[in-house]
Amino acid sequence: MNTLLLSLVAFAFGFIGSMPLAGPIALMVFSTSVRKQYGAALRIGLGAALAVALYAAVAFWGFSTFLAKHPIILPLSHGLSALVLTVLGVHFTRWSPRDEAPPKQERRLGSWLLGFTIAALNPTLLATWTTAVAFLYSRQVVVFSGLLALPFGAAAGAGVACWELLFVGLLRRHEGHFPRHVLTWLVRAMGLLLLVGGLLTGLDFIRESFIPLEP
């Protein structure tokens, strides 16, 4: 019962947490779907779901000691995330849909790896899931055990995967309801949000790394 409840909570966290469109994975899935490459879009989302599952499991296993023992991890994660968000933001602010052919069979693994890599290069996911796990611990919703890290991570990844399936399905069903130029500017606007996120995260990195704390 403890494992089932924890898995349901992790699934809900993963599903609901994937809904905002301001994240890099959501934007990549959306922009790929606009080009009608729905299979590639889905594989990008599922690759990201695997990375989320790993981050969630690690956060559950060591949330109370991991960041405390290695305080340098938090500013480093902000620095790397700022770089990733800025690069993707620049790319998507200049984005335009191209009538590309669907990915070939041999490139399918590349879509999975792309989604996994982009999510894995966003180490603030570790901090996000650590916060979620700490919240669960504070509420005493379940009895914590290191053995529960695997089902927690798997359920979180399943939640993300289910949202990606639903998201791509909705985009495919309603693709003809929006003009292409509207979708293009929507992608560019979300790219601008990524740039803003990169700037704010970069400021966090500078503050945590170079500004000494007051005594």
pLDDT in tens, 10-22: 898 888 877 766 6
Burial 99-128 (b: 16+ CB within 10 A, else e): eeeeeeeeeeeebbebbbebbbbbbbbbbb
Query: How much is the pLDDT for 140?
Result: 62
Better pLDDT: 9 or 191: 9
What percent of the chain clears pLDDT 90, i.e. is strictly above it? 13
Q: Is residue 37 helix, strand or coil?
A: coil
Query: How much is the pLDDT for 80?
Result: 67
Mean pLDDT over 3-30 rounds to 82
Query: How much is the pLDDT for 106?
Result: 42
Q: Is pLDDT above 50 for 100? A: no
| Highest averaged pLDDT of the listed ranges 28-42, 134-148, 155-169 | 155-169
pLDDT in tens, 115-136: 888 888 876 677 778 777 776 7
Query: How much is the pLDDT for 162?
Result: 94
The closest alpha carbon to 125, from 55, 205, 69, 61, belongs to 55
CB–CB of 25/165 below 8 Å?
Answer: no
Query: How much is the pLDDT for 50?
Result: 94
Q: Hey, what amino acid is at 176?
A: G
pLDDT in tens, 41-97: 999 999 999 999 998 888 888 764 555 455 565 566 667 667 777 877 787 687 666
Mean pLDDT over 94-111 rounds to 59
The closest alpha carbon to 194, from 105, 109, 54, 95, belongs to 95
CA distances from 95 to 2, 116, 166, 174 (A): 46, 21, 24, 21
Q: Is pLDDT above 90 for 138? A: no
> In the numeric block, which tokens belong to residue 70?
């290695």
Q: Is pLDDT above 50 for 37? A: yes
Query: How much is the pLDDT for 99?
Result: 44
